[in-house]
Amino acid sequence: MMAAHDWLALLAALLCVLAVVSPRVPTGILGSLGLGAIALAALWSLDDWHDPAMALNIVLGGVSALGLKVGWRVLRKPAPHLRRRGDIYGEPTELPPTALHQVGGGRK
């Protein structure tokens, strides 16, 4: 019979692996390494003969990699969205039929 710790370790490993392979979670390289380390340590903790201190060190390394990734994303703020001059000034004007081929999205 598996203990509660074993079930939680399997769940943590599964969630970390799903986050790495999911296209909806923007993990990047550091995030993938951190989540992979956490999953590896969670699976390693299932072994009865493992060194708990080493598993904890791997988990802390993974959390550190995730912290570096979050810090990098915060420091590297994206540039603000720039608007075209035509979007800001004046009313929109109707395009002549000869210029419709230059606009993406088809014809009228």
Is the pLDDT assigned to residue 89 strictly greater than 70? no
Tokens of 5: 């710790």
pLDDT of residue 79: 64
Give me the residue spans of the domains in the chain: 27-75
d(CA 46, CA 13): 11
Q: What is the mean pLDDT of residues 13-36?
A: 94
Q: What Cα–Cα distance (Å) separates residue 3 from each residue in 8, 46, 48, 52, 77?
A: 9, 10, 12, 16, 44
Summary mean pLDDT of the chain: 84
Is the pLDDT assigned to residue 103 strictly greater than 90? no
The per-residue pLDDT for range 50-83, each reduced to its tens digit, is 888 999 999 999 999 999 999 998 888 766 665 5
User: Residue 65: which region, alpha, beta or left (left: phi > 0; alpha: psi -120 to 50)?
Assistant: alpha
pLDDT of residue 1: 72
Global pTM exceeds 0.75: no
d(CA 10, CA 84): 51
